[in-house]
């Protein structure tokens, strides 16, 4: 979900060469020639077009991307009859620096792939790499303009592309293109992604366990049909209260929580190391004053109650928990955003992904006003999202026996101050996998989770961020060395460092995992 994201660089106007099934060709571009691999075969799909473009060192005309070795870009467009979709897949192939591996990459928010943003670092490291748009136009952070047909019914075919089909197609096509280009298949195949990409990684292990030798599924947006509603919960709480605190007021509660719970893990480092154990009561701030934008604001009981409900997470009106809430210490700005127009009162500013899921897939009205949704309607929408979409995009099946049998290895890491995807959802999934797969020790043989105190969504925050989790995955897959820790570092607070511990272990005051 990573919202908003900036795509690095600008696309060249493609110099395309359409290839027939039986003819290979050579296209001269820049200073090199790229041999055209044979057209791949994808069961259930039909190839519409295939082109090859060569890029010399430095990416040629892509001026904002530098330091990339010479590579060939194979672009394939396919469709899934009778859907009439147009799925674009790009496979970047290093000319002389290939490390023998294939890396498929994931997307963010409603975008199934990130192309340059993901492919540039992969090619720099010698991987043949691929990305796909799943046939759903848009960009990370943009609305799902593909969601509804003209008759306002949900486009189930494109939703299936986005939910699970596209990465499987990319895996099959990517490996065929690699084998045709280099004359041999990749020795190992990997998938990497965070957020939506993390969800794609989990669903690959669940639905297509033989696609990849290793999967790096960071901060996964699993339980999508519940998660997106839970992301909207802070707006519902404010709608019901009729109170919309400013970001400055919300920040005061986080500062107080950090001050109260910083030492719970035995270290005083400005980070809540165990948000689930933090018992700070927001009611303690009632009546205190904070300075916001040159004026003094007194914290009200309504403010404290809003924060308490946001931290607790969504419930039914009867008090049954529906999903997890924002962890203490995570920024409120993404999910509990508010705005003040020039005329009128302050109002909510929901996370676009959450609001768009409700508008397009539940209400089926792209321009619906969601600012009036209260507890009763929220509960109804939550139930509908579960009933209609769990089988398509739930992405939370804990039975990974086929993935284990195929020899796959998977690593998930998740920031404990993630303001968009709740880390307790990842912990919940790991616990359910343990129950299904024979316990913690049996699960650790093929699936390991690492939690990052103080880290935000996929990166950032105050805590140490994993420096190279893919290297740890490669070492596990290719050499059998399962990681007990992930090296991590931070630029925000240079005095804070330390490796991430394998779940359920946590770093103590001595910085060792216990």
Share of residues in the chain with pLDDT > 90 (%):
81
pLDDT surpasses 50 at 123: yes
Lowest mean pLDDT among 57-71, 78-92, 134-148, 423-437: 57-71
- Measured CA distances, 223 to 142, 226, 231, 390, 428 (Å): 21, 5, 12, 8, 10
pLDDT in tens, 154-176: 999 999 999 999 999 999 999 99
pLDDT surpasses 60 at 29: no
- Cβ atoms of residues 29 and 55 within 8 Å: yes
Q: What is the per-residue pLDDT for 513?
A: 83
Average pLDDT, the chain: 90
pLDDT surpasses 90 at 90: yes
Residue identified by tokens 């904002």 is 64
Higher pLDDT, 87 or 54: 87
pLDDT surpasses 60 at 440: yes
Q: What is the per-residue pLDDT for 17?
A: 29
Helices (H) and strands (E) in the chain, counts: 13, 19
Q: What is the per-residue pLDDT for 514?
A: 77
- Measured CA distances, 319 to 134, 146, 226, 372, 379 (Å): 39, 36, 17, 21, 11
pLDDT band at 13 (very low <50, low <70, confident <90, very high): very low
pLDDT surpasses 70 at 387: yes
Q: Where are the alpha helices (DSSP H) in 318-468?
A: 352-356, 375-393, 401-405, 423-437, 440-444
Measured distance CA(324)–CA(416) in Å, rounded: 13
Q: Where are the alpha helices (DSSP H) in 183-246?
A: 196-207, 224-241
Q: What is the per-residue pLDDT for 68?
A: 87
The domain limits of the chain are: 226-252+285-391
Measured distance CA(301)–CA(44) in Å, rounded: 58
pLDDT band at 31 (very low <50, low <70, confident <90, very high): very low
Lowest mean pLDDT among 240-249, 330-339, 443-452, 505-514: 505-514
Measured distance CA(384)–CA(247) in Å, rounded: 31
pLDDT band at 446 (very low <50, low <70, confident <90, very high): very high
Q: What is the per-residue pLDDT for 506?
A: 83
pLDDT surpasses 60 at 60: no
pLDDT surpasses 80 at 496: no
Measured distance CA(303)–CA(101) in Å, rounded: 52
Measured distance CA(455)–CA(496) in Å, rounded: 12
For residue 294, how far is the Cα from the chain centroid?
37
Q: What is the per-residue pLDDT for 48?
A: 97
pLDDT in tens, 195-226: 999 999 999 999 999 999 999 999 999 999 99
pLDDT band at 59 (very low <50, low <70, confident <90, very high): low
Mean pLDDT across 262-268? 77
- Cβ atoms of residues 207 and 467 within 8 Å: no
Which amino acids are annotated catalytic? 195, 418, 457
Q: What is the per-residue pLDDT for 268?
A: 80
Strand order in the sheet with 409-415: 46-55, 71-79, 87-94, 128-132, 101-105, 188-194, 214-218, 409-415, 447-452
- Look at the pTM and tell me if it is higher than 0.75: yes
Q: What is the per-residue pLDDT for 4?
A: 40
Q: What is the per-residue pLDDT for 497?
A: 65
């Amino acid at each position: 979900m990573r919202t908003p994201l900036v795509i690095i660089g600008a696309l060249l106007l493609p110099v395309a060469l359409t290839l027939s099934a039986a003819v290979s060709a050579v296209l001269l571009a820049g200073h090199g020639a790229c041999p055209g691999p044979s057209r791949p075969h994808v069961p259930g799909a039909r190839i519409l077009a295939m082109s090859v473009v060569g890029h010399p060192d430095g990416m040629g005309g892509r001026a904002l991307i530098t330091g990339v070795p010479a590579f060939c870009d194979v672009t394939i467009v396919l469709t899934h009859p009778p859907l009439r979709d147009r799925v674009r897949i790009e496979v970047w192939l290093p000319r002389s620096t290939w490390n023998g591996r294939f890396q498929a990459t994931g997307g963010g928010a409603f975008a199934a792939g990130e192309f340059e943003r993901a492919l540039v670092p992969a090619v720099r490291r010698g991987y043949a790499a691929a990305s796909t748009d799943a046939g759903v136009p848009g960009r990370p952070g943009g609305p799902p303009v593909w969601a509804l047909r003209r008759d306002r019914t949900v486009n189930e075919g494109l939703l299936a592309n986005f939910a699970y089909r596209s990465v499987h197609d990319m895996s099959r096509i990517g490996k065929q293109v690699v084998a045709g280009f280099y004359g041999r298949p990749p020795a190992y195949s990997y998938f990497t992604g965070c957020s939506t990409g993390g969800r794609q990684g989990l669903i690959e292990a669940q639905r297509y366990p033989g696609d990849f030798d290793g999967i790096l599924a960071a901060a996964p947006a699993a339980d999508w049909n519940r998660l997106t509603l839970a992301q909207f919960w802070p707006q519902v709480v404010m709608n019901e209260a009729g109170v919309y605190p400013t970001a400055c007021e919300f920040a005061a509660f986080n500062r107080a929580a950090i001050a109260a719970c910083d030492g719970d893990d035995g270290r005083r480092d400005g980070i809540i190391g165990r948000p689930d154990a933090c018992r700070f009561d927001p009611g303690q701030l009632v009546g205190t004053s904070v300075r916001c934008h040159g004026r003094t604001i007194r914290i009200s009981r309504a403010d404290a109650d809003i924060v308490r409900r946001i931290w607790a997470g969504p419930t039914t009106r009867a008090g049954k928990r529906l999903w997890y809430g924002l962890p203490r210490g995570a920024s409120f700005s993404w999910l509990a955003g508010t705005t003040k127009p020039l005329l009128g009162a302050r109002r909510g500013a929901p996370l676009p992904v959450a609001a768009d899921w409700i508008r397009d897939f539940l209400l089926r009205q792209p321009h619906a006003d969601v600012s009036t949704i209260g507890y009763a309607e929220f509960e109804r929408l939550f139930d509908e999202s579960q009933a209609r979409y769990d089988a398509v995009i739930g992405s939370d099946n804990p039975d990974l026996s086929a993935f284990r049998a195929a020899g796959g290895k998977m690593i998930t890491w998740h920031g404990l101050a993630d303001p968009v995807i709740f880390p307790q959802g990842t912990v919940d999934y790991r616990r359910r996998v343990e129950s299904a797969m024979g316990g913690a020790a049996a699960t650790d043989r093929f699936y390991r989770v690492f939690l990052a105190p103080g880290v935000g969504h996929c990166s950032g925050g105050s805590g140490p961020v994993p420096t190279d989790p893919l290297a740890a995955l490669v070492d596990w897959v290719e050499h059998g060395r399962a990681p007990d820790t992930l090296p991590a570092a931070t630029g925000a607070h240079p005095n804070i460092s330390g490796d991430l511990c394998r779940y359920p272990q946590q770093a103590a005051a001595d910085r060792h995992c216990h």
